[in-house]
Amino acid sequence: MASDIAPAVVSSAEALDGSDQLRQWRFALINPLLVHVRDWQDLPVRSLQTTPAPARPHRLPQLVDISGVPENQLNDVFARVRRYRRRGVPFYSALLTGKGSVDDIAHHLCRQLLQRRRGDHQYHWFRYYDPLVFRHLTWLMTSKQLARLLGPISHWSWPDPFGNWYTLERPELKAKTTIDWLELRDEQWASIDRFADLNRGSRRLALLAPDWPQNTAHWQWLDDALCHAKRSGLPSEDQPLLAERAAMHLPELARQDEVERFMARAARRLAETGGHLDAWHDAEWNTLTSELRSGHE
């Protein structure tokens, strides 16, 4: 990872437990692919329409003007929040505050939805509104990029899968930025392309190795492990599993050389025996790590 990328300062918050907490925020984002239209169509929403985008307005992220929700409707809205939380789905993907008007916020967020890669004239959909994406952007992006992403938004809060909320304050820059395009580098796009595997691996580790911490340092380590796994020469279906097993069987946040030796040994053994890694039992993984500790290559 580039040296000028440092984890952003993120504060944890308690679970969203009452309608009064909603009034502390000016705006919210809803992902209509997760929240049924009947549960948000009566709210003061603004569809984040942008061009070119091959999607109908009701399928695009919705910006909610919380200040425009009538007082007598807030408790009903919070009942929806609780109902979705029981299903393990966030009703609000993010809570936002800032000095801009709803038009300012909507205009800025629309501009962030489509980003270009260096040397590529096509636009790519940037799912920053998904909390499972945003949580990784806080360690992947530079302070300048985060400031550009938030724009007029001063605080951005998002939920984890357990209903806990985390808040990022917009980084203060010494010099004001004059553009809001993120200018993501190639290696950052490569990490973003791995986010789906990263999140699947995190979910499986939460079940298989519940003591493995779910935090920024460990997600970043797992992303690096996925990058190593892609260079292992193994089939694509084995690569994420190899990274997960490295997390389970190596010392916590093992050094890069340990990860590379672990993966090289696993790839050689699989080439000798055939099949796929998901057929290996714990005893085989334990034998492999024992051989590495003893210096046997």
For residues 227, 232, 233 and 237, what is the CA-based torsion angle, rounded to 10 degrees? -60
Q: Which residues of the chain have pLDDT under 70?
A: 1-7, 13-14, 17-19, 51-55, 175, 177-179, 296-297
Domain locations in the chain as residue ranges: 10-184, 195-293
| pLDDT the model gives residue 36 | 96
Residue-level pLDDT at 276: 85
Tokens of 121: 């004239």
For 215, which DSSP code? S
DSSP per position, 148-205: HHHTTEEEEEEE-TTS-EEEEEPPP-SS--S-------HHHHHHHHTHHHHHHHHHHH
Please, which residues bridge with residue 169 across strands?
A: 155
pLDDT value at residue 5: 61
Predicted pLDDT at 272: 86
Q: Residue 2 has what pLDDT?
A: 41
Q: State the CB neighbour count (10 A cutoff) for residue 269.
A: 15
- The pLDDT of residue 177 is 66
Q: Check residue 10 and give its pLDDT.
A: 78
